[in-house]
Structure 1
């Protein structure tokens, strides 16, 4: 049965778009706008900075009733008692993350456009798999493309939630939901906006895609 926790707008931070001084206001704006999940992604900050920022973001998520995940660092996720972690194909594996986090935390895995990787992740205990990029991405322009049809194929073969990522915005997100995505992971369409008010408005437009007409 699909995990009901992994559903809706999934906001992912980017230190280039929202540097330190803008991180918390931008993240809170996305949460106010309806993000159900927030992932802290920052590969440039020091360990101390990452821990401080992750703890602050987690507090915001708890305030707004959203889930907080850490990118690529199950040790940090465990240390601050985050709701989970998102890992790639070369980040230490699901078994290690599960050992660190325990049975109830969320582990998501990047699977690009590969159903075999997704099935292996599900068999290994992943709580969701992420496919993409589906559209041109400014965050990862060199990421391999994925056909939206893979979501429909995965929906037929997997019972865990499917997250779609890569160039997702309020105009193209409906296509991915129609193909079977449970959540839309968004970076640029949220955090490229300069003001918290604009970010909140963008989040509301994206979150509205999940509401019945």
Structure 2
């Protein structure tokens, strides 16, 4: 199990098989890391298991080279097989304790909490590493997701003390207000991988954490 240091805050990029076909996936992730991305999540719900393992293993090699964690979306077995740093769980993807048993005590385990403080508190009690909230804005990836209020970020941090990830329609224009609300990480898909210059876009997002 590869366990690079969990960063305190920063840009959290999530891959999209529609935006990143073929070898573009590896090129774009490397560009994102060069631009300052702190965490990469591999998200692919369409491809066959063998293809997903191949892609995740390649991404793990790239992330290891940069010393950054690779998180696998929803699939504990895949995370274990490719040696990823951890897994991100939706509310229907099994428990934190099950993931911890499969991946080890040092694994990074994130949990989607939508806009609900009670889900965040439960995930924290189960041993989650971080809590993800959203969507906060109109989302390309999940346009029908229930909107969340930015106030849940500060409430969750105060209640649990865990790092918070904001997701859902985040771009360079609205990112400052999300950071002001207390988010430790900005999770971005289309705002990075749907743009022409991935590295430059990541540099611009990364700058926001130091301004």
TM-score, normalising length: structure 2 = 0.95
Partner of 2:91: 89
Partner of 2:204: 205
SS at match of 2:29: helix
* Counterpart-to-counterpart distance in 1, 2:111 and 2:128: 7
* Counterpart-to-counterpart distance in 2, 1:48 and 1:165: 28
Q: How many residues align?
A: 207
* Counterpart-to-counterpart distance in 2, 1:83 and 1:182: 19
Calculate the aligned-residue CA RMSD, in Å: 1.2
Corresponding residue to 1:63 among 55, 62, 65: 65
Contact 1:134-1:166 within 8 A present in 2 as well: yes
TM-score, normalising length: structure 1 = 0.94
Structure-to-structure mapping, 1:20-99, within 5 angstroms: 20-99=22-101
C-alpha deviation, 1:5, in angstroms: 2.5
Runs of 4+ off more than 3 Å: none
The 3 A distance-change label for structure 1 pair 173 and 106 is same
The answer to which of 125-134 and 147-156 deviates more is: 147-156
C-alpha deviation, 1:21, in angstroms: 2.8
Structure 2: gaps (5+ residues): none
Contact 2:35-2:202 within 8 A present in 1 as well: yes
Structure 1: gaps (5+ residues): none
Partner of 1:156: 158
* Counterpart-to-counterpart distance in 2, 1:158 and 1:76: 28
SS at match of 1:129: strand
